[in-house]
Structure 1
Amino acid sequence: MSATRACALSELQQDEAHRVEIDGVAIAVVLDSNGEVHAIGDVCTHGDVSLSEGFVDDDTLECWAHGSAFSLRTGRPLNLPAYEPVPVYAVTIDGDDVLIDPAVLKEL
């Protein structure tokens, strides 16, 4: 599999998560306050809810349902009740296109 256009960079709002689905994989795409684009698994590991409906604060995405915050850089939960990380995907920006390959995890 190769990187697929997930969305346009211009579609992203700073400090808000945007849900995309690529080949059946739900991904939360976030433009953080520093202008960096992140892509993490969109399903909270504590409960089966969409992280893209949560709250972005600097480089974290907080689950709206139970309050677990996940690092946008590593996918690791920063507080309970979640204790399992979410996947983090490599992002490539090509002009206004945000490209993600859900088969390729970001190297940490």
Structure 2
Amino acid sequence: MFIRMQKRTNASNESRYVFYLVESKRNESRQPRQRYIAYLGTLPDKHTRSVWDDFLAQANEALDQCNELDEDSRQKLKKQLKNKTPFNPQHSVSEDIRKAQAKRKEQNSS
């Protein structure tokens, strides 16, 4: 299982990120199939610390209610979620995500 993040933009060009818990499996033909397990929440692109804290609390509650997860998996997903949604009041989430992705690419290429 993993956390899927989707960027949404409305007509007034305001962005937000929607997070889901997704399960990935292969069918009988060995083709990958993905299934949404749970909606974890929505986070505006530009947000305050309290909005970020509320989002994490909502997402953690959704993970706690997911009966398909064992405790170890749940804790790993919570950590992954927190790392995917860094809080930095000076930047938008988009900028932080781009930086995190560049850092991961750099680490993987080393």
Normalising by structure 2, report the TM-score. 0.30
Query: Which one scores higher on RCO, CA 8 angstroms, separation ≥ 6?
Result: 1
Q: Which has the higher helix share?
A: 2
Normalising by structure 1, report the TM-score. 0.30
Structure having the higher Rg = 2
